[in-house]
Amino acid sequence: MASKKSKKSSGQSAVLTDNLGSQLNVDEAELLSKIPWFNERYLLPGESLSDYDTSLQLLVESVVVKDALDAILVKDIHDELREVKRLRVLRQSFFIRGMASRLSDLLSTHFSMDEDPRVTEVLAAWREDPEIGNEALFELLDELGVTMDEIRVSVFSRSAKNLQLLEQQLARHEKNVRESLKMIDARRNHALVRERLAFDLERDREQQLTCNPDDE
Amino acid sequence: MNKQTKANRINAKHSTGPKSTEGKQRASLNALAHGLNQRIDHLICPEASLLQTLFENDGIATVEALALAEAHVTRARVRAARQHAWRAIYGDAEIDPKQRGSLTNASPELLAAVNQQMGGRDWQHFLPFLFEKPFESGGEQDDQAALRFLDKQRRLNRYEVKAVSQLSKLYKRAYQ
C-alpha cells in the first residue's frame, strides 16, 4: 500500500505533479510523472506557461484533488476549458475581422482614402477599440445611409458557416467538461458509499461484541 | 488462373515498392493519418498499463481497469491531434521568442507600409506567428483556412465522442 506521506515527485518536469505538490503520495506522483500526455502543457505560440500553470493550480485547488485519477480528470477539464477559451477568442476574432473588412470596403468605396483623412482615422480608431461608440464612424455611415446593425448582420451571414462550426466545437468541449465532472462525482460518491459501508460494518461488529462479550 | 490474376501477378513484379525492412516499415505508415483508429498497444503506450494499475489500486476489476485506461489514452490521443490542428495554424517552424507576436499591436500605417514593400499582404499568411492571433489578417484566404481548421476539428469529434462516452459508461459501471 502506498505511503500517505506527501512528497513531491522528482525527475521529470511534471505538470500536475509540480502543481499538486502535497496532494499526491509518492507512488502516485511517480506513476503520473511517467504518463507523457499528462505532463504535456498544451500551449500555442504566444500562450504563457505561467498562465497555464496558474489556471491549473486554481482548478486543482477548487476541485480539491485527492489522488492521481482525480488529477488526470482535472487536467482533462483544464485542457477542455482552455480549448473553450481559445474558441471564444477565435469567434470574436472572426467577427471583428469581418467587421473591419466590411467597414473598410464600404468606406473606401464611397470616400477617397487619400482626399478624406477621416476614413483612415475612424478605421484606425475602430480597430483600436471596437467596443466603444465611435461618433465619427457613425457620422460617415449616416452619410452612406447604412447602420452598424446592418453591417453586423452582413458579417454574421458571411461568417455563418464558420460560426456554426465553431459553436458546435464549443458545445462539444463544454459537454466534455460536464462529463469529466460527472466522472469525478461518480468516484467520490463511490468512495463515500465505501466509507459508509465500512463504518456500518465496524459498528455492527462492535454491537455484536457488546451483545456477546464471551465471543471475544 | 484467370487472365486478370495473371496480369496482376506480372504487374506486381514491376512494382518499385520498398525493398529494405526500413523502407517497408516507413511505407507501412503511408496511410496513417492520425492513428486514432489504432488499437492501443501497451508496449508502445506503456502509460496504458500505468493507468490500469492506478484503477486497479482504486479497487476496480482488471478488465474494467484496462478498458478505463485505454479510453483515457484514446482521449489523450484526440487531444494531441487537436493540438496539432491548432499548431498548424501557426506553422510548425521554431519561432524566435523575440519575434512572437511582435506585430500583434502594430499600427495600420505600419502594416500598410510593410504590405506596400512586400507587394501585398500575402506575407501575413506565411508569417502568422508575428500576429499571434490567427485569422485576423483578413481576406478569403483566411476564411478558407479557418474553415479548414474547423472542419479538421469537427472530423476529430467522432473519435472524441466515442472516447468520452466510453469513459462515461465505464466510470458509471465501475463506480456505481
CB-count exposure of residue B120 (10 Å: 0-12, 13-18, 19+)? exposed
Q: Does B55 touch chain A (CB under 8 A)?
A: yes
* A35 within a domain of the structure (yes/no): no
CB-count exposure of residue A55 (10 Å: 0-12, 13-18, 19+)? middle
How many angstroms from the chain centroid is the CA of residue A202? 43
Q: What is the pLDDT of residue A5?
A: 39
Reduce the secondary structure of chain A to three states and give it as a string: CCCCCECCCCCCCCHHHHHHHHHCEHHHHHHHHCCHHHHCCCCCCCCCHHHHHHHHHHHHHHHCCCCHHHHHHHHHHHHHHHHHHHHHHHHHHHHHHHHHHHHHHHHHHHCCCCCCHHHHHHHHHHHHCCCCCCHHHHHHHHHHCCCHHHHHHHHHHHCHHHHHHHHHHHHHHHHHHHHHHHHHHHHHHHHHHHHHHHHHHHHHHHHHHHHCHHHC
Instruction: Count Cα neighbours of B9 within 13 Å in the Cβ-side half-sphere.
Output: 6
Residues in A closer than 8 angstroms to B101, CB to CB, are: 45-46
Q: How large a percentage of chain B has pLDDT more than 90?
A: 27
* A84 within a domain of the structure (yes/no): yes
DSSP, res B139? S
CB contact under 8 A, B135 and A90: yes
CB contact under 8 A, B108 and A124: yes
Which residue in the set B54, B101, B138 is minimally distant from A100, CB to CB?
A: B138
* A73 within a domain of the structure (yes/no): yes
Query: For A6, left (φ over 0), alpha (ψ -120 to 50), or beta?
Result: beta
Q: What is the pLDDT of residue B46?
A: 85
CB contact under 8 A, B175 and A187: yes
Digit-coded pLDDT (tens) for B70-126: 999 999 999 988 888 887 776 544 556 666 667 777 777 777 777 777 666 666 666
Locate B116 and state its grid cell. 506596400
CB A124 within 8 A of CB A134: no
Place of cell 492506478: B54
Place of cell 462525482: A185
Q: Does B122 touch chain A (CB under 8 A)?
A: no
B114–chain A nearest CA distance, Å: 16
Q: How far is CA A113 from CA A104, A120, B122, in A?
A: 10, 7, 22
CB B156 within 8 A of CB B81: yes
* A6 within a domain of the structure (yes/no): no
DSSP, res B40? P
Q: Does A66 touch chain B (CB under 8 A)?
A: no
Q: State residue B104 phi and psi, 5-degree precision.
A: -55, -45
Q: What is the pLDDT of residue A91?
A: 83
Hey, which residues 117-156 in chain A have their CB within 8 Å of chain B? 120, 123-124, 127
Q: Does B105 touch chain A (CB under 8 A)?
A: no
A144–chain B nearest CA distance, Å: 23
Locate B59 and state its grid cell. 479497487
Residues in B closer than 8 angstroms to A172, CB to CB, are: 157, 160-161
Which residue in the set B58, B80, B167 is minimally distant from A183, CB to CB?
A: B167
Q: What's chain A's average pLDDT?
A: 80
Q: Which ranges of chain B would DSSP assign to H, the alpha helix?
A: 3-13, 21-27, 46-57, 62-90, 108-118, 123-126, 140-174
Q: Does A88 touch chain B (CB under 8 A)?
A: no
Considering its fold, how many domains does chain A have in total?
A: 1
Q: Does A169 touch chain B (CB under 8 A)?
A: yes
- Which residue range is the domain that position A202 belongs to? 41-215
Locate A67 and state its grid cell. 489522488
Closest B-chain CA to A161: B147
Digit-coded pLDDT (tens) for B126-137: 666 676 655 555
pLDDT confidence of A14, banded at 50, 70, 90?
A: low
Question: Nearest-CA neighbor of B138 among A93, A157, A89, A151?
Answer: A93
Mutate to test the interface with B, among A3, A12, A42 (most CBs of B within 10 A): A42
Lowest mean pLDDT among A147-151, A177-181, B54-58, B159-163: A147-151
Closest A-chain CA to B98: A46
Q: Does A183 touch chain B (CB under 8 A)?
A: yes
pLDDT at B149 exceeding the cut of 90: no
Q: What's chain B's average pLDDT?
A: 79
* A16 within a domain of the structure (yes/no): no
Q: Does A162 touch chain B (CB under 8 A)?
A: yes
Q: What is the pLDDT of residue A10?
A: 37
Q: Using the CB atoms, write b or e for A180-202: b if 16+ within 10 Å.
A: beebbebbeebeeeeeeeeeeee
Q: What is the pLDDT of residue A180?
A: 95
* A25 within a domain of the structure (yes/no): no
Which residue in the set A31, A183, A189 is minimally distant from B53, CB to CB?
A: A31
* A114 within a domain of the structure (yes/no): yes
CB B74 within 8 A of CB B36: yes
* A23 within a domain of the structure (yes/no): no
Which residue in the set A97, A120, A190 is minimally distant from B136, CB to CB?
A: A97
A56–chain B nearest CA distance, Å: 17
Digit-coded pLDDT (tens) for A99-143: 887 888 888 777 776 667 777 777 777 777 776 667 778 888 888
- Pairwise CA distance, residues B107 & B31, whole Å: 46
